[in-house]
């Protein structure tokens, strides 16, 4: 009878804490998606202006279907759908540090946004924090790889000269890192987080280096003394963010892991304490 009571307590305890373990997993899953699905910018035709042949829009579902299928196995993909008379070219790219599942979910998120943001008109570019999609009427590769698409600057810092010295060193290190990192780098330098990525079709190292260098120069010149900057060119992007307190570097994916560890550790402590209590109660009853 006493053993049955102990087992019953133990089963109830496990059932009670099972939802917490599921919550912990869900927390990691949802937080990663939120971080990757933040809208950075979008470029769409003016809805009141004449757009491309409406027949081109009918090709977009097939284009996104191919995107979603390929995003499970590649972080960059470029293709053309249609025929000799009617064709649409499209490109997607995910951040290199995304898993295949995260990349696929990010691309699918853009698919769901394309109707609301751009009404399926062409050309269009939708850029989230974890991936981007660009599609247009097929017209070859006649575009400027270093054309500025989007730029934002943060607030001005108080100690600007000391900060600018740190920022300069961080961006120099970033340029070197992105080359050695096959076109991608995400690093922390003192109190700065700096990120850069080149488009997957920049095959030559010098092309990637040149694009990142141009983006860095824009960030330095046009975001002078700013605590953050985001510069997106046609073929690369560069961002930096200043964290006034080192503790705040635990953001994004890292903060999710920390929260999950804390929740798991706390649950483990509670479970262990409860088991000890049950054991003590059983021993008292046996005596």
Whether residue 60 contacts residue 88, with contact meaning beta carbons closer than 8 Å, is answered with yes
pTM: 0.73
DSSP H or E run through 78: strand 76-82
Q: Which helix (H) or strand (E) holds 195?
A: strand 192-198
Per-residue pLDDT at 144: 87
- What the block records as the tokens of 107 is 């691309």
CA dihedral 109, 110, 113, 115 (to 10 degrees): -130
Could you tell me which of 84, 54, 186 has the C-alpha nearest to residue 129?
A: 186
DSSP string of 144-160? -TT-EEEEEE-PBPSSH
The DSSP symbol for 71 reads T
Residue 204, pLDDT score = 87
Q: What pLDDT was estimated at residue 43?
A: 94
pLDDT of residue 203: 77
**Neighbour count for residue 97 (Cβ, 10 Å):** 14
Angle at 159 between CA 157 and CA 163, to 5 degrees: 80
Res 47: pLDDT: 57
Residue 240 burial by Cβ neighbours in a 10 Å radius (0-12, 13-18, 19+): buried
Burial string for 206-229 (b: 16+ CB within 10 Å, else e) reads ebbbbbbbbbbebbbeebebbbbb
Tell me the pLDDT of the chain (287 aa) as tens digits: 445 454 445 444 444 444 444 433 333 333 445 589 999 999 998 754 455 567 888 999 999 999 999 999 999 999 999 988 889 999 999 999 999 999 999 999 999 999 899 988 889 999 999 999 999 987 655 678 899 999 999 999 988 889 999 999 999 999 999 999 989 999 999 999 999 999 999 878 999 999 999 999 999 999 999 999 999 999 999 999 998 644 333 333 443 333 343 334 334 434 444 544 544 555 545 54
DSSP symbols for 13-39: HHHHHHHHHHHHHHHHHHHHHHHHT-E
Distance CA 237, CA 208 (A): 10
Residues across the chain: 287
Per-residue confidence (pLDDT) for residue 12, from 0 to 100: 46
């Amino acid at each position: 009878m006493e053993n049955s009571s102990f087992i019953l307590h133990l089963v109830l305890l496990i059932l009670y804490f099972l939802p917490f373990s599921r919550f912990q997993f869900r927390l990691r899953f949802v937080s990663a998606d939120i971080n990757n699905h933040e809208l950075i910018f979008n470029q769409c035709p003016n809805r009141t202006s004449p757009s491309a042949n409406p027949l081109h829009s009918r090709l977009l579902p097939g284009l996104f279907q191919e995107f979603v299928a390929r995003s499970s196995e590649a972080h960059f993909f470029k293709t053309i759908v249609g025929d000799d008379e009617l064709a649409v070219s499209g490109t997607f790219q995910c951040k290199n540090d995304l898993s295949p599942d995260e990349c696929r979910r990010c691309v699918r998120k853009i698919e769901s946004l394309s109707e609301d943001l751009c009404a399926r008109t062409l050309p269009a570019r939708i850029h989230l924090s974890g991936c981007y999609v660009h599609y247009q009427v097929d017209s070859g590769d006649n575009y400027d790889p270093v054309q500025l698409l989007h730029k934002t600057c943060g607030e001005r810092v108080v100690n600007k000269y000391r900060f600018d010295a740190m920022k300069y060193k961080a961006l120099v290190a970033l340029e070197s890192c992105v080359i050695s990192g096959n076109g991608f780098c995400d690093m922390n330098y003192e109190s700065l987080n700096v990120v850069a990525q080149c488009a997957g079709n920049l095959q030559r190292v010098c092309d990637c280096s040149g694009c990142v260098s141009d983006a860095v120069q824009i960030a330095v010149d046009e975001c002078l003394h700013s605590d953050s900057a985001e510069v997106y060119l046609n073929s690369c992007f560069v961002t930096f963010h200043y964290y006034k307190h080192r503790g705040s570097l635990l953001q994004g994916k890292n903060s999710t892991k920390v929260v999950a560890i804390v929740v798991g550790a706390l649950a483990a402590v509670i479970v262990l304490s409860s088991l000890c209590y049950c054991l003590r109660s059983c021993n008292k009853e046996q005596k």
